[in-house]
Amino acid sequence: MELFIGLGGIELLFVLAILGFFILLPLIALIDALRSSFHGNDKLVWVLVILLFPFLGAILYFVIGRNQRIP
């Protein structure tokens, strides 16, 4: 039985999982950036990068930005 736009149950679940990943990753990065301490205006820069380029910005934050936090 086709549930949604010609997709069956497994395909729909797969699409929803990928969409959830693309929504949750930037959200988690944004929350982490807002709760962390940075030097100067680094927090503002990371928040803007995550908001303007959601998926790429989140990946960049996790690769580069987490090392710039104040311990």
Residues 35-57 have pLDDT tens digits of 999 999 999 999 999 999 999 99
Residue 63 lies in a domain: yes
3-state secondary structure of 8: coil
Segments forming the whole domain that contains residue 44: 22-68
pLDDT at res. 9: 77
Of 13-17, 19-23, 47-51, 65-69, where does mean pLDDT reach its minimum?
13-17
Sequence-ordered list of residues with C-beta below 8 angstroms from that of 65, at least 6 positions apart, any chain: 33, 42, 46
HSE toward the beta carbon, residue 34, CA cutoff 13 A? 10
Asked if residue 28 is part of any domain, the answer here is yes
Pick 30 or 71 by higher pLDDT.
Answer: 30
Is 5 inside a domain boundary? no
Supply the pTM of this predicted model. Answer: 0.80
Q: Which residue in this structure is represented by tokens 């959200």?
A: 27
pLDDT of residue 38: 95
